[in-house]
Amino acid sequence: MGDRERILHLYEKGHKISHIAKMIGVTHSCVSKIMTRLVIDFKVL
């Protein structure tokens, strides 16, 4: 599972963006940008 899929999976489970960032090892802004892109491009949520 790639980082994007992991981020989406964790977010759907209810984890906060800051917690996801720490778990994955990236910045809060990186997770936020990925989530924004997923929502805009794929209308995931």
Range(s) of the domain holding residue 38:
3-42
Q: What is the pTM of this model?
A: 0.78
Extract the residue ranges of the chain whose pLDDT is less than 70. 42-45
3-state secondary structure of 14: coil
pLDDT of residue 30: 96
- CATH number (domain holding residue 36): 1.10.10
Q: What residues contact residue 42 under an 8 Å CB cut-off, 6+ apart? A: none
Run of H or E including 12: helix 3-12
- How many domains are contained in the chain? 1
